[in-house]
Copies of this chain bind each other. A is one copy, B any other.
Amino acid sequence: MKVQPRTLSGFMELLPRQQLVMEEIMGVLRETYALYGFTPLDTPVIEASEVLLAKAGGETEKQIYRFTKGESDLSLRFDLTVPLAKYVALHYGELAFPFRRFQIGKVYRGERAQRGRFREFYQADIDIIGDGKLDIVSDAEIPSIIYRAFSRLGLQNFQIRVNNRKLLSGFYAMLGLTERSGDIMRTVDKLPKIGRDKVRELLTGELGISPESADEILTFISITGSNSQVLDALEIYRGRNERFDAGLEELATVVRYLAAFGVPEERFAVDLTIARGLDYYTGTVYETFMTSHPEIGSICSGGRYDNLAEYYTDKILPGVGISIGLTRLFYVLNEQGLLGGSIGAPADVLILPMTEEIAHAAVLATRLREEGVRTQLYTEQKKFKARMNYADKLGVPFVVFLGEDEVREGLVSCKDMASGEQRKGPLQEILAWIRETLARQSAGAIIRE
């Protein structure tokens, strides 16, 4: 009796060609994060439930993969933030602050299975944690890293939208609506979908807000334009609420430094409608959108928080971070046909030995690998047609043939599988041709808009 092989629903398992693209994406993220002086971190997938769920509650708790093993009550991590908080609290004395870490890892949430929803998925997080204090400049550096990462991936039409929670809560305090600000933000969030009139109706109706305040809110939320135009427009509110003023100051600083960190003006925008649901965030907040595919929603979000590890330690550890939901991003880009990838094959060259003795071919494979060319040697006893089918199926850009003639003459025959062009020559000459062609092909972007 055979067991039917299957992969659990909600768990992404890619075919080789797609996996290669995923690896390329993760490689670019790792490289970019490292370029900004972030240290890689790797924490366990399993933690003691008591530790992992110190803070959790409600929806989150229901989704946790929690179980006992022996005497231990264990849980699988559901994000990379709680493990970071634990790590920093636990190793506080051995870390240098500001502590900059990135982590790319799988997290687990037992959500209802549905298309495009994953129970096991990668998050790619960066965070900067201060000890007691953390300067606002970090709030500008974080989105600049995301800008570079997405640019390197080939994304062209995206925008990082920035706002500040102090600014928002200060504004609602001015109107005497501090208590209602959560409800108001949720209502205002519907603006793009239901329109201005409908939002006004909900504000004055359901929420019982005065018509004057509703108009104030709608006016505020409608402030748009270039970043300096928006910041200028916000100046008229200055002096009425301390919290608002502090938020405005922070926002202006972030905007100013974003440029110094090399982010072009068109790639970021102050957007007063960005609020982020979580109470967790206390200052700067970010969302990132593909402007040519707004239907995808935010592909990367985060913000500033006051105290990372309050459940574990008395130390005050403010931080700022951002997270890419990598598995979901990969899924939607793939669905939309936007994924490229430079080569898309596990090898650059497939060597087909045309003689019975294949030691020559093995030596050639070794030579090519020493030259840094990803090389596979085909060693099965199959007909020529089957071998070429294999090359096609792998998608290798080059096939090298090594027959009696080539071995005797000390030459190599090589076929460019894309163009069909075939050349015969000394190894160094063929190698140069292969390298040149590969360099041209790998100039292609990973994400192709």
Tell me the A residues contacting B by CB distance below 8 Å: 2-8, 11-16, 19-20, 22-23, 34-48, 50-51, 54, 65, 67-70, 72, 74, 85-87, 89-91, 94-98, 100-101, 106, 108, 110, 120, 130, 133-135, 137-138, 140-141, 144, 148, 256-257, 260-262, 309, 311-314, 346-347, 350, 358-359, 362-363, 365-366, 369-370, 372-377, 379-381, 390, 393-394
A389 to B, closest residue via Cβ: B96
Whether A362 lies near B3 (C-beta < 8 A) is no
Whether B311 lies near A2 (C-beta < 8 A) is yes
Say which residue of B11, B85, B134, B366 sits within 8 Å of A44 (CB atoms).
B11
Supposing A3-B50, A43-B13 touch, asked if A100 and B376 sit within 8 A by C-beta, the answer is yes
Please provide the 6 A-B residue pairs with the shortest distance between their CB atoms, ordered closest to farther: A37-B376, A67-B67, A37-B347, A260-B362, A39-B346, A96-B393
**Complex Cα distance A120/B106, Å?**
14
A54 to B, closest residue via Cβ: B3
Say which residue of B19, B45, B262, B393 sits within 8 Å of A41 (CB atoms).
B19
Whether B110 lies near A69 (C-beta < 8 A) is yes
**Complex Cα distance A21/B377, Å?**
31
A394 to B, closest residue via Cβ: B96
A135 to B, closest residue via Cβ: B379
Say which residue of B108, B261, B380 sits within 8 Å of A365 (CB atoms).
B261
Chain B residue numbers with a CB within 8 Å of A374 are 34-37
Whether B380 lies near A135 (C-beta < 8 A) is yes
Chain B residue numbers with a CB within 8 Å of A12 are 44
Chain B residue numbers with a CB within 8 Å of A97 are 390
Besides A5-B85, A134-B380, A137-B379, 12 other CB < 8 A contacts?
A3-B311, A7-B47, A13-B87, A20-B39, A45-B120, A65-B67, A65-B74, A69-B110, A97-B390, A133-B380, A141-B362, A144-B366
